[in-house]
Amino acid sequence: MKKIIYLFLAFTLFIPFAYSQEKDSLIQLYSGIGDTLQTFDRNYFELFQNISGFESAIFYIRYQDRLVSKIKYIKDNSFYDTTAIQSLAVLQSIRKQIENTLLKNDSVTYSQQETIVSTKDGKEYDGNLDMFSKTNLYLSEVEALQSEKDLNMNVSIPVNEVNTIILIGSSNVLYSTAVGVLAGGTFGAIIGFASGDEEGGFVNFQKEEKAFGLGVTFGLIGGTVGFMIGESEDDVVIKIDSKNNLLKLKDYAKYYFQYDKSLEETYVEF
């Protein structure tokens, strides 16, 4: 009889405990992130920036009106856990922040940055950086630098095989020089025609000769000025020691966030 009473008491004590545990329902913070927020997405979307040493976070809904965030972080080389319980309005705010970042990511027109990718096996690939994800780099018009053959194809390179990414600096020196030559030459020619001597039998010839001479002179001056004010950007070198190093690509290429099978099929994985 005592055994039956003990079993009954144990069962009745277990029911409310199990019931309370079921109140926390695991959720995805956002489609594409999954149920665990890692440091890469946390930093890209600038979430939980007030938590030093952030490692990961898992999210639950409690009683349909509370957001439970179970966060792991590092302090003094040791791992710790903390739990934050907030209203669901915080969840909506987080998701809105993610959506705004993605909208900006999709709306910005990134120039196809010429990029050299070196892999851990010593190979190098030159192409235009189209986009990047946590797992791959996506390049178009790729050429293998160890080969004279221009592959001229879209390639995806796994991040865990990448050693270094070099973003080739751009330059507007040639453009500035050309504009300077054109502007100076035009200005000189106009002055030459306007001030040409109209007396004598060779009026047109004298005007054209003077316009040509002044055009060349002012063109050289304009070209020199354009060359001097033209700007060149240095190459950007990114050493890939972890996925978080990829965050440096944020200003240069689109973040490929959600998997798209049709898009993946346009790239060949190396």
> Cα separation of 207 and 215, whole Å?
12
> Cα separation of 63 and 216, whole Å?
81
Residue whose C-alpha is closest to residue 91's, from 71, 70, 66, 73: 66
> What digits encode the pLDDT tens for the residues 61-100?
999 889 999 999 999 999 999 999 999 999 999 999 999 9
Ordered by where they begin, the domains of the chain are: 2-96 (no CATH), 113-170+233-269 (2.30.30.100), 173-229 (no CATH)
> What digits encode the pLDDT tens for the residues 154-204?
999 999 999 999 998 754 444 445 555 566 556 555 665 566 555 554 455
- Its pTM stands at 0.66
The CA distances from residue 176 to 41, 146, 231, in Å, are 40, 34, 9
